[in-house]
Amino acid sequence: MSFVLRTRALRARHLAVKPLRSGVTQVRGLQTDADKSSPAESLPESGSATFKVNLPGDSFHSYRCDVPDPEIEISKDGLVDMYHKMVQMRRMEQAADALYKQKLIRGFCHLAIGQEAISVGMEKAMTPDDRVITAYRCHTFAVMRGGTIKGVLAELMGRQAGMSHGKGGSMHIFTPSFFGGNGIVGAQVPVGTGIAFAQKYLNKPSVTFALYGDGASNQGQVFESYNMAKLWNLPVVFSCENNKYGMGTSAERAAMNTSFFTRGDQIPGLQVNGMDILAVLRAAQWAKEWTVSGKGPLVMEFVTYRYGGHSMSDPGTTYRTREEIQQVRSKSDAIAGLRRYILEWGVTDEDSLKAIDKSAKEEVDHAVEEAKQSPHPDLKDFWTDIYVSGRPNLSFSV
Ligand SMILES: Cc1ncc(C[n+]2csc(CCOP(=O)(O)OP(=O)(O)O)c2C)c(N)n1
Ligand SMILES: [Mg+2]
């Protein structure tokens, strides 16, 4: 084929796989509404007593394994707690957006507005012994894993009160169970596999969730990690947040197989409605049971969406339409979905939810003010926290 013909053929193919501009690219057959679960029994009086909820059967798709039982036990307090956390996380990210526009945050800033159900829902299934490692869209995970809103915002602003004393930025935020915040696309996946290796080596009954994006899924080091994890049956859940885009490129244009949960070859996989927090929670519980019982790794795909651009420097509307974003917001927003569960199931009333919204705003406003008051690091501290001095203590804390 001549060069011209081949170029034309490639262009035709490229156009054929381009997502329709008129609507969101749907993941075949997976239910992505945020509010289609329903209680299987009447709700108890007590806030702490659990009751059963049925998830729609098509909240999950599986590969080389059975889907989890689409039933979950949750309490009224548990639902309200998750609502509070999701609202807090959205407010925190919105505050970061505003601080960036005020030039109080400089450099890169990647927000997870739209994806809150994943960090908040997963956390509910985890214990402090479990480990999490993510890419750069990490602020909400850092708070869920023991960080603070003030610590994240101050870190983004480069202040001493930041979780890395203002010297790391969003891609260098850690807690004892959260291993960052990593800027090199995909690089956290082999590191997460190594953490899971240590968990297995030390006989810990815990799991590592290694998060990465749909774009990162095409990285060679991700497949190398899959291979070693399956060879050694490590307790790692490769957790792909499929928000449909890697920077300005849709998953359809970047990946030969967009069913990310099937990409582990011998590793079983699960695709999950990442907009219904109850589906996320159920999937994370199931994945934890699977890995801790010694069955080896899993590849989990959370189907989600980011409302904003890739980072603050991307308006996010040149490679997708405003209607597409609006359609997801109005149909699948995770916070609106949980709000509807709480109100329709009679967990609490509208006024209580408004009070939670108000207190979440106040908590974040307060954190912003405190972070602003914190000074920048001293010049002398620029040379600390770089190497471990002397003989490092090699006892692991995984
Ligand atoms: C090794 C490497 N290649 C390229 C980049 C530039 N880059 C930053 S983010 C990104 C897209 C990643 O998309 P995805 O994995 O889907 O994550 P999302 O931003 O959607 O959360 C790219 C290509 C990078 N940081 N590292
Ligand atoms: Mg992505």
Predicted pLDDT of residue 319? 97
* DSSP secondary structure code for residue 190 in this structure: H
Averaged pLDDT of the chain: 92
**Distance from the alpha carbon of residue 255 to the mean position of ligand 2, in angstroms:** 11
Domain ranges of the chain: 61-368
The architecture (CATH level 2) of 61-368 comes to: 3-Layer(aba) Sandwich (3.40)
**Predicted pLDDT at 338:** 98
- Does the pLDDT value for residue 3 go beyond 60? no
The residue behind tokens 């927003």 is 333
Ligand nearest to the CA of 115: 1
Mean predicted confidence (pLDDT) in 134-157: 98
Helix (H) or strand (E) holding 99, with range, is: helix 76-101
Residue nearest to atom 19 of ligand 1 (CA): 246
pTM here? 0.92
pLDDT recorded at residue 389: 74
Percent over 70 (pLDDT), the chain: 91
Give every CB contact of residue 293 below 8 A, 6+ residues apart in sequence: none
The full length of the chain comes to: 398
Q: In this predicted model, what pLDDT tens digit does every residue of 346-398 receive, in sequence order?
A: 999 999 999 999 999 999 999 999 999 999 999 999 889 888 777 666 565 66
Instruction: With cut-offs at 50, 70 and 90, classify the pLDDT of residue 16.
Output: very low
More confident residue, 17 or 116: 116
In this predicted structure, what is the pLDDT of residue 29? 84
pLDDT of residue 116: 98
pLDDT at 5 over 60: no
Query: What percentage of residues in the chain have a pLDDT greater than 90?
Result: 88
Cα of 214 from ligand 2 centre, angstroms? 5
Ligand 1 atom index nearest CA of 185: 26
**Residue corresponding to tokens 């030390």:** 202
If you measure from the C-alpha of residue 241 to the centroid of ligand 2, how many angstroms do you get, rounded to a whole number?
A: 7
Secondary structure E strands in 114-206: 131-133
CA 59 distance to own-chain centroid: 17
Mean pLDDT of 298-304: 98
- Region 172-194 average pLDDT: 97
CB of residue 19 inside a 6 A radius of ligand 1: no
Of 49-58, 95-104, 158-167, 384-393, minimum mean pLDDT range? 384-393
Residues near ion ligand 2 (Cβ under 5 Å): 213-215, 243, 246
| Ligand 1 pocket test target in 139, 185, 253 with most atoms within 8 Å of CB | 185
Atom of ligand 1 at shortest range from CA of 212: 15
